[in-house]
């Protein structure tokens, strides 16, 4: 009988190790979901230009640029881990109703772009988008970084110790380690995870005004993580927390007005 227990125990260990190895090597497939290589822009009611920009490691990536007036502030929209640019059209239609310009960029490996996504790579992609705007004569102090879900971690990284006009974080998480431990509590996530996105260790380095958006019914990024990010952020900071919103936020008039008010009060 003891031999059966011992064999069962070792079998469980082998299975656990096997699953852990699979999770380690396929973790980026679990994290990044760049479905939909073809983008059309169909349904986007604001005029836009399809742009291409280069990253520091020579990937040429796509984006959509809507210009109202070069004197207006510009939102740089950094999207989440799933889908493509077309999936953000409803949000862009709402943001475009505000008196601002916007640029939304697509990550490497997304929307038909070359390359494969990674934490280091996506940071380079965001910096490439900022550099493209700078070359258009739009300085950092005229740029509002908007991060959506995974994009909040990228926003937090590139915003550190910089003079951006403002920062908007929609459904931010504290770190991918914290997220992984919540979803996969039986695995040693901290040691396995390649892309850690430690926003909670960086948020204090942001000096720009911050607006945090989060819904209490978010089933993907727990609301307490967004609340924690807001608590850790420097002043001036503002929040828009709702009782009913899931992941993502409902872009109704109230939310858009909150974003508009935030932008209107920026220097």
Kindly report the backbone phi and psi dihedral angles of residue 93, in degrees, each rounded to the nearest multiple of 5, phi listed first: -60, -40
| 61 within domain boundaries | yes
Per-residue pLDDT of the chain (267 residues; tens, 9 = 90+): 567 878 777 888 888 888 888 888 989 999 999 988 789 999 999 999 999 999 999 999 999 999 999 899 999 999 999 999 999 999 999 999 999 999 999 999 999 999 999 999 999 999 999 999 999 999 999 999 999 999 999 999 999 999 999 999 999 999 999 999 998 899 899 999 999 999 999 999 999 999 999 999 999 999 999 999 999 999 999 999 999 999 989 999 999 999 999 999 998
Alpha carbons within 13 A on the beta-carbon side of 3:
0
Do 176 and 196 reside in the same domain of the chain? yes
Do 127 and 147 reside in the same domain of the chain? yes
pTM over 0.85: yes
Residue in the structure block whose two tokens are 């934490």: 119
State the Cα–Cα distance between residues 142 and 165, nearest whole angstrom: 5
Q: Evaluate the CA torsion angle 247, 250, 254, 257 in order and state its sign.
A: positive
State the Cα–Cα distance between residues 23 and 192, nearest whole angstrom: 8
State the Cα–Cα distance between residues 22 and 32, nearest whole angstrom: 16
Residues 152, 132 contacting (CB under 8 angstroms): no
Do 22 and 122 reside in the same domain of the chain? no
> Count of domains in the chain?
2
Looking at residue 4, its pLDDT comes to 80
Residues 171, 213 contacting (CB under 8 angstroms): yes
Kindly report the backbone phi and psi dihedral angles of residue 237, in degrees, each rounded to the nearest multiple of 5, phi listed first: -140, 150
| 13 within domain boundaries | yes
Residue 243 contacts by C-beta under 8 Å, 6 or more apart in sequence? 215, 216, 217
Residue-range definition of the domain harbouring residue 18: 1-31
| 38 within domain boundaries | no
Kindly report the backbone phi and psi dihedral angles of residue 248, in degrees, each rounded to the nearest multiple of 5, phi listed first: -100, 180
Do 241 and 139 reside in the same domain of the chain? yes
| 37 within domain boundaries | no
Do 194 and 150 reside in the same domain of the chain? yes
Beta bridge partners of 181: none
Do 87 and 185 reside in the same domain of the chain? yes
| 241 within domain boundaries | yes
Q: Exposed/middle/buried for 207, CB within 10 Å: 0-12, 13-18, 19+?
A: middle
Do 151 and 186 reside in the same domain of the chain? yes
Beta bridge partners of 104: 64, 77
Residues 86, 41 contacting (CB under 8 angstroms): yes
Q: Evaluate the CA torsion angle 154, 160, 164, 167 in order and state its sign.
A: positive
- Please report how the helices 119-135 and 150-159 are oriented relative to each other, as an axis angle in degrees rounded to 10: 60
State the Cα–Cα distance between residues 210 and 72, nearest whole angstrom: 19
Looking at residue 2, its pLDDT comes to 66
The answer to whether the bond into 236 is cis (omega within 30° of 0) is yes
State the Cα–Cα distance between residues 12 and 24, nearest whole angstrom: 18
Do 55 and 179 reside in the same domain of the chain? yes
Looking at residue 166, its pLDDT comes to 98
Task: Report the CATH number at residue 211.
Answer: 3.40.50.1820
State the Cα–Cα distance between residues 164 and 174, nearest whole angstrom: 21
Looking at residue 1, its pLDDT comes to 55
């Amino acid at each position: 009988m003891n031999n059966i227990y011992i064999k069962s125990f070792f079998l469980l260990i082998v299975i656990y190790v096997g699953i852990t190895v699979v999770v380690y090597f396929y973790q980026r497939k679990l994290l990044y979901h760049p479905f939909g290589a073809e983008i059309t822009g169909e349904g986007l009611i604001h005029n836009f230009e399809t742009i291409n920009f280069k990253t520091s490691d020579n990937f040429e990536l796509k984006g959509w640029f809507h210009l109202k007036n070069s004197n207006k502030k510009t939102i740089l929209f950094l999207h989440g881990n799933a889908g493509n640019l077309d999936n953000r059209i409803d949000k862009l239609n709402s943001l475009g109703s505000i008196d601002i310009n916007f640029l939304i960029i697509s990550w490497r490996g997304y929307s038909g772009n070359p390359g494969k996504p990674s934490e280091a790579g996506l940071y380079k992609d965001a910096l490439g988008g900022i550099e493209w705007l700078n070359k258009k004569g739009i300085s950092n102090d005229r740029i509002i970084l908007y991060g959506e879900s995974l994009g909040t971690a990228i926003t937090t990284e590139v915003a550190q110790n910089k003079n951006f006009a403002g920062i908007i974080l929609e459904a931010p998480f504290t770190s991918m380690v914290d997220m992984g431990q919540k979803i996969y509590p039986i695995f040693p996530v901290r040691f396995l995870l390649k892309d850690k996105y430690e926003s909670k260790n960086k948020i204090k380095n942001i000096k720009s005004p911050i607006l945090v958006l989060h819904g209490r019914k978010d089933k993907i990024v727990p609301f307490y993580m967004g609340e924690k990010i807001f608590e850790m952020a420097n002043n001036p900071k503002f929040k828009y927390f709702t009782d009913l919103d899931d992941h993502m936020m409902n872009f109704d008039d109230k939310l858009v007005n909150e974003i508009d008010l935030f932008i209107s009060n920026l220097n």
